[in-house]
Structure 1
Amino acid sequence: MPDMLIDYYKAIEQSSARMLEAARLKDWDEVVRCESACAVLIEQLRFQSGQQELAPEHRKEKARIMQRILRNDAQIRVLAEPWMAQFEHLFEGQPQVMH
């Protein structure tokens, strides 16, 4: 269990890296699982950041981690675009149901 805020950022980065690896392997179920894990960690981080502050010595590391997460996310989106286009194609011509 992370005990400092920086540990949450590191855990999110690790989950992001696993998500990217799964996307490279076209394992979309694993991408979704990793995305869910990231969402839980982000919620925990939000809660913890209300309870404690990021130590000043961790601010540069946080910035580097965030940049890596953003790069991973961009690569995942590029890898997922063909899959998403194929998925959307399945629903072309289907009647749109509004709830």
Structure 2
Amino acid sequence: MLDYYKAIEAKSAEMLAAAMQQNWDCVVECEKSCAVLIGELRVQSQELVLTPAQRKEKTRIMQSILRNDAQIRVLAEPWLATLEYMGKVPASSVLH
């Protein structure tokens, strides 16, 4: 199950790198990949129980993902505001 968390962390880092390059199409694609991984993780997490060491690693990974997400949001805010202004998409529906 930790493999799913690690895959989400890696995709989160890829999403951050894309946001830093202002490659918003790639950001959206990475987000879609994360959604699939999260769905698979939900299924797996119903069947498995993590050990204390695994829970510690999960916490580290989740903190990394949250840091990446926060940085992505800071980078994306001007882009989201532009789209919202143009009436194309509400900001709340673009990023998780």
Same fold judged by TM-score > 0.5?
Answer: yes
Find the counterpart in structure 2 of residue 84 from structure 1: 80
3-state DSSP of counterpart to 2:22: coil
| CA deviation map 1:57-98 (0-9, x unaligned) | 211111111001000000000000000111112129xxxxxx
**Which of 8, 13, 16 matches 2:4?**
8
Name the aligned partner's letter for residue 46 of structure 2.
G
**Over aligned residue pairs, what C-alpha RMSD do you find?**
1.3
> Which residue does 1:21 correspond to in 2?
17
SS at match of 2:50: coil
Paired positions, count: 88
> Deviations along 1:23-63, whole A, 9 cap, x unmatched?
00000010001000000000000000112122332111111
Q: Deviations over 1:2-32 (max 9, x none)?
A: xxx1111000000000000000000001000
Measure, in 1, the Cα distance between the counterparts of 2:35 and 2:87.
27
Structure 1, unaligned runs of 5 or more: 93-99
Larger-Rg structure: 1
Aligned to 1:96: none
Unaligned runs of 5+ in 2: 89-96
Distance 2:3 2:51 in 1: 11
TM-score normalised according to structure 1 size: 0.84
